[in-house]
Structure 1
Amino acid sequence: MNTLDFHLDGLKPADESPGYAYNHPWENDFQLISRHDVGERSFIIAFDKTATWDYPNKANIVSFDIDRDSSRGLFSMHREQHATFVFAQNWLINRSCPPNALAPVFEIPRPADELSLRVEDRIRRSGESLEVADYRVIDSSDTEGWSIAVDSQAKELPVRLFLETLQPDQFTYTVREGAFADHSAADYWLEHRSAPLPEPPEYRRDADALRTSAALARSTTVPAVTAAGVLAAASAATAALSQPDRGQSL
Structure 2
Amino acid sequence: MNTRDFRLDGLKAADESPGHAYNHPREKDFQLISHHDVGDRSFIIAFDNTATWDYPNKANIVSFDVNRDRSQGTFSMHRDRHATFAFAQNWLVNRGCPPDKLAPVVDVPRPADELSVRVEDRIRRSGENLEVADHQVIDGGDTEGWSIAVDRQASELPVRVFLETLQPEQFTYTVREGAFANHAAADDWLEHRSTPLPEPPEYRRDTDALRTSAALARSTTAPTVTAAGVLVAAPAAAAVARPDRGRSL
TM-score between both structures, scaled by the size of structure 2: 0.85
Structure 1 match to 2:228:
234
Shift of 1:21: 8.6
Q: Distance in 1 between matches of 2:110 and 2:218?
A: 38
Shift of 1:130: 1.0
Identity %, equivalent residues: 80
Bigger relative contact order (CA 8 A; separation at least 6): 2
SS of the equivalent of 1:72 reads: coil
SS of the equivalent of 1:104 reads: coil
1:60 counterpart letter in structure 2: N
Q: Tell me if 1:88 matches 2:88.
A: yes
Q: Deviations over 1:106-142 (max 9, x none)?
A: 1111111111000110101110111111222144764
Structure 2 match to 1:32:
32
Q: Distance in 2 between matches of 1:143 and 1:18?
A: 32
Alignment coverage as a number of residue pairs? 235
**Retained in 1: the 8 A contact 2:159–2:182?**
yes
Structure 2 match to 1:59:
59
Structure 1 match to 2:214:
214
**Retained in 1: the 8 A contact 2:19–2:78?**
no
SS of the equivalent of 2:204 reads: helix
Q: Deviations over 1:24-51 (max 9, x none)?
A: 5322221111111111110001111221
Q: Deviations over 1:188-247 (max 9, x none)?
A: 2222222221110111111111122223334559xx8xx95xx34221233469xxxxxx
Shift of 1:101: 1.2
Change (3 A) 1:141 1:104: farther
Q: Distance in 2 between matches of 1:3 and 1:206?
A: 42
Structure 2 match to 1:6:
6
Structure 1 match to 2:182:
182
Change (3 A) 1:20 1:202: closer
Shift of 1:6: 0.6
Structure 2 match to 1:137:
137
1:160 counterpart letter in structure 2: R
Shift of 1:20: 7.8
SS of the equivalent of 1:178 reads: strand
Q: Distance in 2 between matches of 1:86 and 1:118?
A: 11
More helix by share: 1
**Retained in 2: the 8 A contact 1:210–1:238?**
no
SS of the equivalent of 1:170 reads: coil
**Retained in 2: the 8 A contact 1:52–1:139?**
no
* Structure of greater Rg: 1
Shift of 1:78: 0.8
Change (3 A) 1:21 1:161: closer
Q: Distance in 1 between matches of 2:188 and 2:91?
A: 28
SS of the equivalent of 1:205 reads: helix
**Retained in 2: the 8 A contact 1:8–1:75?**
yes
2:154 counterpart letter in structure 1: A
Structure 2 match to 1:124:
124
Q: Distance in 1 between matches of 2:158 and 2:227?
A: 27
SS of the equivalent of 2:145 reads: strand
1:119 counterpart letter in structure 2: V
Change (3 A) 1:232 1:91: same
Structure 1 match to 2:110:
110
Change (3 A) 1:18 1:237: closer
Structure 1 match to 2:245:
none
Q: Tell me if 1:97 matches 2:91.
A: no
